[in-house]
Each structure stands twice: as C-alpha cells, then as structure tokens.
C-alpha cells in the first residue's frame, strides 16, 4: 500500500508539474482568444466604417448625378427655346430680305417702264417745232 501511495504521490507530483505549463498554456490561449476577439471586433468596426463611407459616397454620387440630370434637362429646355427663337429670327430676317428684294424689284420695274417710255418718246419721229408748240 505504501508503494501505491508513493506511486500516487509521484503521479500527483508529475500531474502538478505538467499542470503548471498547461495552466500557462491555457492562460496564453485565453489571452489569444481575447486578442482574437479584439481583432475581430476591430475588423468589424473597420468594415462597418468602410461600408458607411461607401454608402455616403454612393449617396453623394447619386445626388451629384441627379443634379447633373436636372442641369442637363434645364440646358436642353434652354437649347430648345433658343432653337425656336433662332428659327423665328431667321424667318423674320428672310421675310425682311424678301420684302427688300420685292421693293427693289418693283423699283427696277418702275425704272424700266420709265426708260421704255422715254425710249419710246425718243424713237418717235420728230415733229416740226410748229406742230410741237401747238401740242403743248
């Protein structure tokens, strides 16, 4: 029995001797788990911050795009209005130029008629001066 007790004490001493490094290893493992949890938490926070920043950027981009679409629509409306106005101005200018051309044509026709009349008078046989005085 004494041999068994000695053997048991030896085994208990051996277990105690092995428990000390195992305890240290367990402590290191607990610390490692704590550090791993802190790292996971930090990564999760960083990812959340990145996602939040990406959402803000996306919203800003969407707002900018909407603003650009609005500006584009306004510019298209202005372009359409100016195109109509240009057409009106061109039509008015053509109308004015057409009126001027008609007026010049009328003046040329009148001048040509006067010239024909004078040519006709100039081509008539000359009357004696006595007869001409009676006609006047």
pLDDT tens, 4-23? 889 888 888 888 888 888 88
Record the pTM. 0.43
Per-residue pLDDT reduced to its tens digit, 15-65: 888 888 888 888 999 999 999 999 999 999 999 999 999 999 999 888 888
Q: Give domain limits for the chain.
A: 2-135
- Cβ(110)–Cβ(102) below 8 Å: no
């Amino acid at each position: 029995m004494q041999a068994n007790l000695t053997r048991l004490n030896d085994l208990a001493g051996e277990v105690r001797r092995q428990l000390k490094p195992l305890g240290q290893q367990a402590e290191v493992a607990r610390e490692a788990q704590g550090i791993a949890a802190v790292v996971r938490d930090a990564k999760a926070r960083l990812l959340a911050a990145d996602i939040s920043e990406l959402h803000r950027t996306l919203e800003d981009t969407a707002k900018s795009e909407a603003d650009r679409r609005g500006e584009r629509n306004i510019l298209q409306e202005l372009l359409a209005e100016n195109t109509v106005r240009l057409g009106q101005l061109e039509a008015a200018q053509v109308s004015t130029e057409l009126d001027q051309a008609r007026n010049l044509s009328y003046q040329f026709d009148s001048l040509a008629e006067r010239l024909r009349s004078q040519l006709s008078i100039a081509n008539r046989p000359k009357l004696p001066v006595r007869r001409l005085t009676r006609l006047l």
